[in-house]
A and B are shown apart, each in its own frame.
Chain A
């Protein structure tokens, strides 16, 4: 079929689809189901406390009453109301290194696994690849005790006890997120890197470039799109994570937004003025990132970048 005809055909297809009323109705119902709950929560977060608790958010349209008091309280209020400003900072402090570390380490490892030849390389790759199967639930309890007691293998101290206190607990959260994120990151970057043109790297090698130089000057610029997709995935994963945060960042000094919100939902489940505003504080950053970088996110998804 020639390109000249195609647009006409496509337009016809499109019109046919729209003309089927049931199909359009289904799409509209789905779109409404997928947006109304979030919209209701957003609207509620701006309503005064006594109104949220006594009337539905849809009554807002007949008697609009607007306030930002909920946000003020939930962000800066006293301990019992969430103190989400602090949790927001905790989320940031947890997320930034937890994105940088695994991606950089994975890029280095993927380079060695695709462009440095050595004995046993393929076995190593299969090993790291297979680790994707291990659910992080398998690692939680022992890893936590490693941080408090160190690692001993047959009397040999592999890692001393860390005994982290207060804000230094962030380090163990970074460690956990990095370790858990590495297998998938290495796998995806290896897929991408091993398809780079070998001739370019080969000729650099002939010119006497070292591995460090090849990685920096040739490989790194070529894999930037893959790094971007991966960074978005890891960012969303870490920012939205609850389990790792509960285990490794317990305590008010380090717990991120998700952990704080989950607590509020459990202990003060009826305080909707705080929950609605709090949920939005936690949602706003990932949604903003997602909307601006959606293209990279979709590209990564189609390349298989889903944490499984």
Chain B
């Protein structure tokens, strides 16, 4: 045992300094906020409260984002100017085109499957005795890190060439189809993408369940009763009453998940490291920029990611606006 708690004390000193700095900044802002003239219209007062945010956001986000855009036009060391070469590389290099295809697969499949599972589950458990518990079970993966979830599923997908299988999926194959049916799931070309996507679906479905279940409870019971009096069956009730009534919530869930899938990085890195054709844009951006030292290419990938996120977010904002107006 080599762990010595005393070695860790400097870290707590740093933590203490950080918390102290935190208190100083907050108290400082409040103190100045006390003495500035408290007219309702005051630029000084406004800026005092905004300064910490403005400083952090400009140094931490605005200036870096502009720098990245500039770097995306430069070479691997971030010096020479190469024009749009890095973008040309993204859309012509066959390997990177595969990465773009994988990202498209993630953005389409994760929201669709996770929302479908979440919706069906939310409808079934609605108003049953064990609803709360049932919801928590599916919701719990939301609290687990992508890294943790990746390890959980890597264990499920584990493959042994000789001896007993220790991965649950391969053991199921043995039980159902015999010894010959086992597979090394994470190296199967193309299909391995789907096994990674399943992990993200597993994490996100709980989010869909919770949001959609709340929406289902908001459907006026008059509508449901009226439909019932008209004699609709469960299938019709689901498609003709429930789904149209909660459509706005479904869209919010779909959009939120598609953004999350576009930016997904951790699962790919932990489970396959992008090998065997499983890389996605966000992972490739990291791999090119840091281990690969290809600053220009990494920056171009980040910009592409940014450009892909924009339309989704704009759609989301417009959608939210409309909802507010309706209310």
Contact = CB atoms under 8 A, between A and B. Distances in A.
B56 A279 contact: no
Interface string A233-265: 000100111110011000000000010011001
B325 interface: no
Given A137-B302, A262-B266, A302-B214, A118 B46 contact: yes
Interface stretch (B90-98, B105-113, B141-149): B141-149
A301 interface: yes
Contacts of A97: 15, 18-19, 22
Interface in A134-153: 134-135, 137-143, 146, 151, 153
B35 interface: yes
A134 B302 CA distance: 10
B199 to A, nearest CB: 9
Contacts of B210: 298, 301-302
A34 B202 contact: yes
A86 to B, nearest CB: 7
A308 interface: yes
Interface in A24-41: 24, 26-27, 30-31, 33-38, 40-41
Nearest to B316: A308
A289 B143 contact: yes
Contacts of A111: 49
A65 to B, nearest CB: 15
B127 A143 contact: no
A179 B14 contact: no
Most chain A beta-carbon neighbours within 10 Å: one of B137, B146, B211, B270: B270
Contact of B164 (A37, A54, A104, A179): A54
Contact of A55 (B147, B164, B206): B164
A171 B18 contact: yes
Contacts of B259: 308
A278 B270 CA distance: 14
Interface string A98-116: 0011001110110111001
Given A246-B286, A265-B270, A30 B152 contact: no
Interface string A173-192: 01110111011001000000
B181 interface: no
Contact of B225 (A1, A133, A135): A1
Given A210-B38, A265-B270, A301-B211, A108 B26 contact: yes
Contacts of B320: 304
B207 A93 contact: no
A307 B166 CA distance: 36
A306 interface: yes
Contact of B50 (A55, A100, A109, A205): A109
Interface string B264-279: 0110011101000000
B57 interface: yes
Contacts of A212: 29-34
Interface string A114-130: 00111101001000100
A261 B193 CA distance: 22
A96 B65 contact: no
B84 interface: no
A158 B64 CA distance: 13
A230 interface: no
Interface in B114-130: 117, 120-121, 124-129
A291 B141 CA distance: 11
A138 B145 contact: no
Given A34-B206, A137-B301, A282-B145, 12 more contacts: A24-B124, A34-B140, A109-B52, A112-B46, A117-B40, A119-B43, A134-B65, A138-B64, A141-B67, A142-B64, A210-B33, A266-B273
Interface of A: 1, 6, 9-10, 13-14, 17-18, 20, 23-24, 26-27, 30-31, 33-38, 40-41, 44, 52-58, 72, 75-79, 83, 85-86, 89-90, 92-93, 96-97, 100-101, 104-106, 108-109, 111-113, 116-119, 121, 124, 128, 131-135, 137-143, 146, 151, 153, 158-159, 166-168, 170-171, 174-176, 178-180, 182-183, 186, 205, 208-213, 215-216, 236, 239-243, 246-247, 258, 261-262, 265-266, 269, 272, 275-276, 278-279, 282-283, 286-287, 289-291, 294, 298, 301-302, 304, 306-308
9 closest residue pairs by CB, A with B: A179-B60, A240-B145, A212-B33, A112-B49, A290-B143, A142-B64, A142-B67, A212-B34, A139-B64
